[in-house]
Structure 1
Amino acid sequence: MNFESLEVWKRAARLSADIYKNSTITKDFGFRDQLTRAGLSVPSNIAEGMTRDSDKEKVRFLDIPRSSLAEARTQIYIGIDINYIDSNIGQLWLCETSELSKMLSSLISKIKERI
């Protein structure tokens, strides 16, 4: 399966781009860097995982973006709390990270059935 055809990859790439676009005003470069790196890790590792030869490797690599989503969610919560992230935007990102995590869990389960 081509990673570009996966809805989870498409949505993760859009979220990553949205995080980049909306975090440019943040003057705290450490915070911005950490959040954008976590967001960028998600579609990047989905792509890398789906190009692996073995299903075992695919599962291992797809678990990484699931963890990156948890990292990003934590940073979003903190960013909202300290007024680095607009509450409305942050809530949208929290919903999307939750949905993406569920989508990845489902994809991982499907792949594990083949192992």
Structure 2
Amino acid sequence: MATRGTDDDSDPAALPDSVVDDLLEADSRRLALSILDERDRPVVVGDLAAAVVARRRGVPESAVSDVDREAMREELFTEHIPKLTATGVVEYDSMVGTVELRRRGIVGRGRA
């Protein structure tokens, strides 16, 4: 996985408040960021999708159906991952299908 050459990758303050607010506006995106922050490692997009659905419903990830997992996976790919990669908040590795948080503190910053 490629790494970025800038020093501000992990600094949420490097993003304007309006960008952070926009990123945190969508519940699914906010949950995904929170999960990525907790896991502190790259996560397979399908596993992230199951975790988002499970967190939203308050159930174990194993209780998420394949249909619901796939629907959230599609939502992550079409709506959330593009926005998060464009802002440098996450990095998507298409070779292994994982997403990794690159800027920590985004979720906490938005709840101030």
Common fold by TM > 0.5 = no
**Which structure carries more helix by proportion?**
1
| Structure label with greater radius of gyration | 1
Structure 2 length normalisation: TM-score? Answer: 0.38
